[in-house]
Every structure is written in C-alpha cells, then in structure tokens.
C-alpha cells in the first residue's frame, strides 16, 4: 500500500486498533486487502499493478469477520473518523439470494446521514457501494444500502462492454467500472493480496466499487472542495456510454427528459477518470438541495396478474414553498405493498417528462407472502436534472404464471434536488458534452 493511515483505521470485529485480516486456509478474509490495493497500491510497489489513486492513503476498517453483524458495528464503521476519512468503499451488503429485502437499520442510517451532512468537515463523506452480485434474479433496489441516495452504487462491465453474468440491475445504480466475468479466466482484476502477494482474480462488483472510490479520490485531489453531491453530479455528467451493452438484450440505453443517456444495468455509463478530474477542476458547487414530498397515494389497489394497474400523483413539486424542487437529483417512490408472492411484483415509475424507470424487477426466488414491502424507498437516478412538476405514474403488475394476488397500499413520492439550475455557473468547454446538453435543456425550458 502507498501509505496506510493507521489513525483512521479500526478493528470493529475485535475492538482494537489493528484491523489485520484473520488468515484462514480458504483466504476468505482477503477481500479488504484486495479492494484496498485497487484504490491505493503505490507506484513501483514491485508486487503487482498500481492503484487507481496511487497517491491516496488508505485506512482499514474490519467489521464483517465475526459470527453476527449488528447495527452498532455497522454504524460505528460507517461513521468512523468522518473528517479523516473522505471516501468509504463498501463491497458488502444483504445476501444476494434474490429473496432478501434488507437495508441499513436505524443507527447505521443515522451514521450515513451524519456522514453526508457533516463528514469531511461539512462537505460530506462519499460512500461508494458495490451494487451486488445477485445476477439477473436479484434487484439492487431491494438492497437498501446500494439503493440509498447517500451511497454511490457502482455496477460492473466486462472487457467487451457487456454486463457480467453476476451483475444485478436497478434504477438506483449511478455508474459502472470494469471487473471480471469474461469467458477468458485471465481477465480478472489484478491487485494486492494476503501474504504480500498479487492476485489476478479479484472479481465481482466488489472489485468494481473500489475502482470508483479511486476515481473519486482523484477528483477530490483535483478539487478538495467537492461535496458529496458534486461527486454524484460529476459522475452523471462524465460517465460514458461507450460500448456498454446488455448481453441479454433486455435493457437498452434511453435518453431522459434533459438528454442524458442512462441504462438500467450501467446507470450513466462507465466512469471516465480523466473527464471527471478535468470537470472537477472547473467545478462550481451545486446549489442547495431540497426535499419535497411530491404527493401521497393511499387508496389500496388490488394488483392484477399480467396486467398493469396505474396510479398517478400530480405534483407541483412544492412550488412556491421553502422546499421547491425544479431540477431533480434523486427520486424515491416510498411504497407499501404485499403479495402472495413478493418476487412476482414489478414496478415502473414514469416521470412527467416521460422517463420510465423500472424500480422493481421480477425476482423469481423471492416467495415472501407475509412481509411485502413496508414504506420501502425505491430509488431512481434516471430522472436526473429533469423538472419534476406534473404527473408521475406508477405501474404495478404481478408477472405470475399462476394465480397470485396482492395489494398496492401506499405510495409517497419524494423529490430531491435543487430550486436553482445546477450548472449555471459552469463554463461549457465542449459543445457536445453532457454538460452542454443539459444546460441547453435547462435554458430552453426557462425561455418557454
Ligand atoms: Ca485486530
Ligand atoms: Ca443484491
Ligand atoms: Ca446508491
């Protein structure tokens, strides 16, 4: 490692200042060492490769290696030294079995919220999250850590631009980086390993998230004043579609209402470190963020099999109030529903500008009939920079071969974003850039 920051490190699994991995025959605890090397392996380290941000320092937080996980261990880890640590990179989460619906508990949620609001001396910690390795039968919007708007969740692509077989899809993924999964087994991620070794087989979205953490470290090096939201805006504006595509042809690229291309698998595309650093140098912090409850729908509706029911919320987006939102960042559809088979429910959210996000996909292994979803915050990033005023449509359907039943009970629409246009003070250097396209969309709209 380039330099280990011992002061920012801690072992929450055994409560001591030394987060050394516990060595086992199966190398089970090699994960953190491998992720750390991707970010921060020094130049000329004579072991292997080089970290994305090779001048960064890295702290180790050991927190997964004990018989059970507690809210307190998670909270302490996520909130550890939030002024010393700028970026937290997490390659863990709820079980990827395609039937778990789980997210941060109270203390962990509070720690993350405190991190983004107060961490990094008020600029906000960056929480980078692996979107998960549950494959096509899981949905990362059922992983409350990845789906949180306070985390930047990162999916992976393989070297030919297609998604990996283990990739999950969901509307909350912001961007992607590269990882293993190609047919050629020699296409894993090279990084540091236990016993001072080199591995060339680091894998999964676990290997994708630290690459993003490295890119964000470079952006913060170029401009230390970036807030946690600036980093998300930069990701949206500089990630590239390139040749990324869905190997199974399910999810195409679409353009949202302000001309930004997004994909259900890859978010806004693959991170471009050079473009992000260049734009970070010119960046002017985005205007204040407001939270607007756009509306509440609470007349229970019976779901239908293979036929959508449609409910609408018509919103002013808190027009002429203290929380007016005119330019979206994240949108949450906070939903309560239950069904005789939870995994058969699909949900789609369509914005007033016509952008349709699949906020829940079918999960064939999820046979829950009891819990359903209770005020679950399904999140989409796909309507970024759109104007939220108008009619939002929620479609719900049971995609069941046999007879199932269910109820959509409640839907609260939460709109998060700015009152002021976010990029007004940024110079446009490239007329074909996404920044130029969005600024033009915002400007044209104002003239109307
Ligand atoms: Ca220890
Ligand atoms: Ca998952
Ligand atoms: Ca997220």
Same domain, 214 and 252: yes
Q: Where are the alpha helices (DSSP H) in 263-421?
A: 273-282
Q: What is the SS3 assignment for 93? A: coil
> Would strands 87-90 and 126-130 be described as parallel, antiparallel, or unpaired?
parallel
The rounded Cα 136 to chain-centroid distance in angstroms is 17
User: How many angstroms does the Cα of residue 21 sit away from the middle of ligand 1?
Assistant: 8
| Alpha-carbon distance values, 46 to 6, 192, 196, 210, 441 (Å) | 22, 11, 10, 21, 50
Range of the domain at 390: 289-418
pLDDT at residue 185, rounded to an integer: 79
pLDDT at residue 28, rounded to an integer: 87
Binned at pLDDT 50, 70 and 90, residue 3 comes out as: confident
pLDDT at residue 1, rounded to an integer: 53
Nearest ligand to the CA atom of 17: 1
Statement: residue 2 has pLDDT above 60: no
Q: For residues 329 and 288, what is the distance between their CA atoms, to the nearest angstrom?
A: 11
Q: For residues 38 and 273, what is the distance between their CA atoms, to the nearest angstrom?
A: 14
Average pLDDT of the segment spanning 176-201: 92
Q: For residues 33 and 191, what is the distance between their CA atoms, to the nearest angstrom?
A: 8
Give tens-digit pLDDT for 66-75: 888 999 999 9
| Residue 430 domain-assigned (yes or no) | no
User: How many angstroms does the Cα of residue 312 sit away from the middle of ligand 2?
Assistant: 29
Binned at pLDDT 50, 70 and 90, residue 363 comes out as: very high
Give tens-digit pLDDT for 389-431: 999 999 999 998 778 999 999 999 999 999 999 999 999 999 9
pLDDT at residue 187, rounded to an integer: 86
User: How many angstroms does the Cα of residue 17 sit away from the middle of ligand 1?
Assistant: 6
Same domain, 265 and 370: no
Average pLDDT of the segment spanning 195-209: 95
Same domain, 278 and 294: no
Statement: residue 367 has pLDDT above 70: yes
Average pLDDT of the segment spanning 129-155: 98
Binned at pLDDT 50, 70 and 90, residue 448 comes out as: low
Q: Which residues of 141-159 are buried (b: 16+ CB within 10 A; e: fewer)?
A: bbbbbbbbbbbbbbbbbbe
| Residue 181 domain-assigned (yes or no) | yes
Indicate the residue among 249, 282, 315 that finishes a domain: 282
Let me know if 371 is exposed, middle or buried by CB neighbors in 10 A (0-12, 13-18, 19+): exposed
Taking the CA atoms of 264, 328, 86 and 282 in sequence, report the sign of the dihedral they define. Answer: positive
Average pLDDT over the chain, rounded to an integer? 96
Give tens-digit pLDDT for 255-300: 999 999 999 999 999 999 999 999 999 999 999 999 999 999 999 9
Number of structural domains in the chain? 2
| Residue 121 domain-assigned (yes or no) | yes
Same domain, 265 and 299: no
User: How many angstroms does the Cα of residue 232 sit away from the middle of ligand 2?
Assistant: 21
Same domain, 25 and 159: yes
| Residue 445 domain-assigned (yes or no) | no
DSSP string of 97-126, one letter each residue: SSS--B---HHHHHHHHHHHHHTGGGT--E
Which contiguous run of DSSP H or E holds residue 338? strand 327-339
User: How many angstroms does the Cα of residue 77 sit away from the middle of ligand 1?
Assistant: 14
User: How many angstroms does the Cα of residue 62 sit away from the middle of ligand 1?
Assistant: 8
Q: What is the CATH number of the domain that holds 390?
A: 2.60.120.260
| Residue 429 domain-assigned (yes or no) | no
Q: For residues 36 and 42, what is the distance between their CA atoms, to the nearest angstrom?
A: 11
Same domain, 126 and 220: yes
User: How many angstroms does the Cα of residue 14 sit away from the middle of ligand 1?
Assistant: 6
| Residue 201 domain-assigned (yes or no) | yes
């Amino acid at each position: 490692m380039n330099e280990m920051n011992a002061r920012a490190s801690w072992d929450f699994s055994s409560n001591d200042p030394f987060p050394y991995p516990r060595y086992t025959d199966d190398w089970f605890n090699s994960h953190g060492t491998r992720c750390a090397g991707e970010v921060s392996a020094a130049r000329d380290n004579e072991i292997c490769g080089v970290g994305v941000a090779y001048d960064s320092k890295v702290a180790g937080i050991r927190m997964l290696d004990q018989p059970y996980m507690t809210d307190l261990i998670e909270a302490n880890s996520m909130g550890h030294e939030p002024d010393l640590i700028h970026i937290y990179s997490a390659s863990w989460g709820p079980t990827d079995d395609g039937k778990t619906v789980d997210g941060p508990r109270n203390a962990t949620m509070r720690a993350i919220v405190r991190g983004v609001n107060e961490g990094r001396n008020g600029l906000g910690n960056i929480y980078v999250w692996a979107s998960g390795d549950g494959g096509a039968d899981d949905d990362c919007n059922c992983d409350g850590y990845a789906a949180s708007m306070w985390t930047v969740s990162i999916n992976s692509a393989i070297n030919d631009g297609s998604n990996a077989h283990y990739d999950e899809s969901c509307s909350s993924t912001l961007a992607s980086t590269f990882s293993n999964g190609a047919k050629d087994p020699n296409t894993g991620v090279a990084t540091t390993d236990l016993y001072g070794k080199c591995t060339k087989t680091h894998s999964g979205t676990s290997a994708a998230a630290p690459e993003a953490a490295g890119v964000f470290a470079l952006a913060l090096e170029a401009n230390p004043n970036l807030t946690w939201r600036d980093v998300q805006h930069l990701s949206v504006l500089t990630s590239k579609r390139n040749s990324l595509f869905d190997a199974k042809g399910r999810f195409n690229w679409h353009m949202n209402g302000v001309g930004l291309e997004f994909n259900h698998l890859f978010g806004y595309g693959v991170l471009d470190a050079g473009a992000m650093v260049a734009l970070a140098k010119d960046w002017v912090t985005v205007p204040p963020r407001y939270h607007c409850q756009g509306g509440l729908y609470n007349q229970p509706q019976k779901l239908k099999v293979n036929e959508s029911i449609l409910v609408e919320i018509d919103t002013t987006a808190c027009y002429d109030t203290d929380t007016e939102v005119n330019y979206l960042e994240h949108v949450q559809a906070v939903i309560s529903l239950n069904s005789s088979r939870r995994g058969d429910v699909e949900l789609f959210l369509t914005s007033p500008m016509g952008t349709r996000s699949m906020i829940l996909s079918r999960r064939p292994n999820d046979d829950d009939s009891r819990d359903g979803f209770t005020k679950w915050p399904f999140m989409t990033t796909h309507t970024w920079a759109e104007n939220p005023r108008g009619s939002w449509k929620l479609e719900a359907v049971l995609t069941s071969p046999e007879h199932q039943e269910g109820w959509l009970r409640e839907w609260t629409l939460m709109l998060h974003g700015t009152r002021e246009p976010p990029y007004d003070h940024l110079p446009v250097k490239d007329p074909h850039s996404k920044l130029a396209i969005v600024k033009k969309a915002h400007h044209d709209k104002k003239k109307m």
